[in-house]
Amino acid sequence: MKGLFITFEGTEGCGKTTQVQLLAERLRALNQTCRVLREPGGTPIGEEIRHTLKHSAENRDMTAEAELLLMNASRAQLVREVIRPALLAGETVLCDRFYDSTIAYQGYGRGLDLSVVKAMVKFAIGDVCPDATLLLMVPLEVSEARRQNRPAGAVPERDRFEESDRDFFLRVEQGYRAIASAEPNRVQVVDGVQCVAAVSEVIWRAVSPRLPRSD
């Protein structure tokens, strides 16, 4: 595919959503065609699934298996409706979370069989894989503090994932570290404790050599 696909990963409060927007602004300033997406979501169907997964008042009894299926339903739609066509058109696609989140959250965090999780991910994504993944890591105590200190109204609805206990997030962190160790050529670990500007520069140094050159 002609385009460039970059994903951002990390546990809650790592700062990835801010960094996605900063990178998009930098790319657009260079006249790069850039599309910003999020998971779950990114399509009308995906946004409905996102609400069910994260914010619905009726989702408290959702099983881990249902969560896995819904995540990949949203992903399958996003890949076929948006990501693949954008990459074929030569666009740069930035996605706030992709399949590594499912491996970390539903596989390691929820304790589902990793072979089943990975098979389902493969079915959902087909031949679409990130060219590079920026994994922002912060210690769990930093993640907790950042979530507690978010400005009032910054998160308008309850988030079912953020209601998970500390052990869940420790397992998610373990999952991300395993992913990074297994795929060092794709996944770059970034220290998310640094200031926003410093993190942005680390990300730019990782991304800029991959950009198409204009003659």
Task: List, for residues 108-117, the tens digit of each pLDDT value.
Answer: 999 999 999 9
Task: Taking residues 180-205, report their average pLDDT.
Answer: 97
pLDDT recorded at residue 155:
54
Range in 67-71, 157-161, 186-190 the model is least confident about:
157-161
pLDDT recorded at residue 214:
58
Task: Taking residues 159-182, report their average pLDDT.
Answer: 94
The C-alpha atoms of residue 26 and residue 206 are separated, in whole angstroms, by 13
Predicted TM-score (pTM) of this structure: 0.93
pLDDT recorded at residue 156:
54
Higher pLDDT, 23 or 140: 23
Domains of the chain, each with CATH number or no CATH: 4-210 (3.40.50.300)
